[in-house]
């Protein structure tokens, strides 16, 4: 089988992560690297990448390179991607693929014009917690789902560097929102998003959002809440999903969680009000235990296979497979993020058909 040669543009945290991850895939080898920072170039060469280029143009001129992986800050993605496609090299662009839908459209036009493929590293489609939740929903364990809540929270602020600057494509919507929205729309496809409301957080940063809460409505339901926070000292559950027959919680990255589902229609209501520490209630009193069952989740059903992304690149270069992540899918996510920014700016609900 043919082995393809790739080069990385931007050997920071993610560029290096790709190099280390792809070592497990024999079909593609990273042979070249370009980074504007000499220290990162030195590191790449000491890691074992054989060719260090002195400019991006030199990388593009290397006839041996079939594929360019772009892992620079976001504001370079479009220019670098278009230049690579013009040079005849397939492009894998880190997320977010572009700073706007106009930029992505230009990249897609360039791909159509040159006949060169463009894809995006939306790797969180393979995450075990996501697959575990999706599996439960698709098997109908929760019945008809009406609410999905997806949260990623930390308490360390925005990492130092370009992520703090708007011009470079900083902020948490572009950093994490792009992943969580992608997961949600892929799961709900082909349903369209018809309504969007978003509040951006600026707890410690004026220039870029350091978190946000986004509510999206899919046609005929469900409603999806996506929240990202960097000033959340107590972690919120990663997933909380409700259907008419059950609810699911997944607490954290370790994938531990529970499904509680109805096994019997409950008809019995007590005559009297129940007194709790926080006051009296009838409606919110717990269900009788024998009407529900509990399923423990620990991620063991899901084998996260991140290699699948790289194997797909080789198959696409062979001409035997479709792209695993298509630019049109990335376009939907970018348009949803644009609507979210618009909603935050105008403090209104955005009606849409995305």
Chain residues binding ligand NAD by CB under 6 A are: 9-15, 34-37, 40, 71-74, 76, 94-95, 121, 123, 161-162, 175
- We find the least distance from the C-beta atom of residue 98 to ligand NAD, in angstroms, to be 10
- We find the least distance from the C-beta atom of residue 156 to ligand NAD, in angstroms, to be 14
Distance CA 186, CA 183 (A): 5
Distance CA 201, CA 349 (A): 17
Q: Which of the 8 DSSP states describes residue 125?
A: G
Nearer to ligand NAD among residue 40 and residue 332 (C-beta) = 40
Distance CA 88, CA 98 (A): 20
Judge residue 141's burial from the number of C-beta atoms within 10 Å of its C-beta, 0-12 exposed, 13-18 middle, 19 or more buried.
middle
**296-300 contacts at long range (C-beta below 8 A, 24 or more positions apart):** 296/257, 296/258, 297/132, 297/136, 297/248, 297/250, 297/255, 297/256, 297/257, 297/258, 297/259, 298/255, 298/256, 299/128, 299/129, 299/132, 299/254, 299/255, 299/256
Distance CA 323, CA 120 (A): 9
Nearer to ligand NAD among residue 150 and residue 247 (C-beta) = 150
- H helical segments located in 115-173: 128-138, 172
Nearer to ligand NAD among residue 170 and residue 243 (C-beta) = 170
- We find the least distance from the C-beta atom of residue 10 to ligand NAD, in angstroms, to be 3
Token duo for residue 221: 């339901």
- We find the least distance from the C-beta atom of residue 85 to ligand NAD, in angstroms, to be 17
Nearer to ligand NAD among residue 121 and residue 134 (C-beta) = 121
Nearer to ligand NAD among residue 197 and residue 309 (C-beta) = 309
- We find the least distance from the C-beta atom of residue 220 to ligand NAD, in angstroms, to be 31
- We find the least distance from the C-beta atom of residue 75 to ligand NAD, in angstroms, to be 8
- We find the least distance from the C-beta atom of residue 330 to ligand NAD, in angstroms, to be 12
- We find the least distance from the C-beta atom of residue 264 to ligand NAD, in angstroms, to be 43
* String of DSSP letters for 184-246: HHHHHTTPPEEEEEEEEE-SS-SSS-SEEEEEEEETT--EEEEEEESS-SSPPPSEEEEESSE
Nearer to ligand NAD among residue 16 and residue 261 (C-beta) = 16
The residue whose Cβ lies closest to ligand NAD is 12
Nearer to ligand NAD among residue 161 and residue 280 (C-beta) = 161
Report residue 110: phi and psi, to 5°. Answer: -65, -40
Distance CA 71, CA 25 (A): 19
Nearer to ligand NAD among residue 126 and residue 147 (C-beta) = 126
């Amino acid at each position: 089988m043919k082995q393809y040669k790739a080069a990385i543009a931007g050997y920071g945290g993610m560029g290096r992560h790709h190099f280390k991850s792809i070592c497990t895939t024999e079909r593609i080898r990273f042979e070249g690297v370009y980074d504007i920072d000499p220290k990162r170039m030195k590191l790449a060469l000491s890691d074992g990448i054989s060719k260090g280029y002195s400019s991006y143009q030199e990388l593009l001129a290397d006839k041996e390179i079939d594929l360019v992986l772009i892992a620079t800050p976001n504001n370079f993605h479009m220019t670098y991607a278009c230049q690579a496609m013009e040079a005849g090299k397939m492009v894998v662009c880190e997320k977010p693929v572009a700073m706007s839908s106009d930029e992505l459209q230009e990249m897609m036009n360039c791909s159509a014009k040159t006949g060169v493929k463009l894809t995006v590293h939306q790797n969180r489609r393979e995450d075990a917690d996501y697959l575990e939740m999706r599996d439960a929903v698709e098997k109908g364990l929760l019945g008809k789902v009406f609410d999905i809540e997806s949260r990623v929270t930390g308490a360390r602020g925005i990492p130092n560097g370009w992520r703090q600057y708007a011009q470079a494509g900083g902020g948490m919507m572009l950093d994490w929102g792009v992943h969580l929205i992608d997961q949600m729309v892929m799961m709900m496809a082909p349903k369209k998003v018809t309504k969007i409301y978003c509040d951006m957080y600026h707890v410690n940063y004026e220039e870029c959002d350091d978190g946000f809460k986004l509510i999206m409505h899919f046609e005929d339901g469900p409603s999806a809440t996506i929240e990202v926070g960097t000033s959340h000292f107590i972690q919120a559950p990663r997933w909380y999903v409700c259907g008419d027959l059950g609810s699911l919680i997944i607490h954290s990255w370790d994938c531990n969680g529970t499904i509680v589902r109805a096994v019997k229609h409950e008809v019995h209501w007590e005559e009297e009000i129940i007194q709790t520490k926080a006051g009296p209630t009838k409606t919110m009193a717990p269900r009788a235990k024998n009407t529900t069952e509990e399923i423990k989740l620990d991620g063991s059903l899901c084998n996260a296979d991140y290699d699948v992304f790289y194997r797909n690149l080789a198959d696409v270069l062979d001409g035997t497979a479709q792209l695993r992540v298509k630019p049109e899918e990335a376009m939907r996510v970018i348009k949803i993020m644009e609507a979210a920014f618009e909603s935050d700016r105008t403090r209104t609900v955005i009606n849409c058909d995305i």
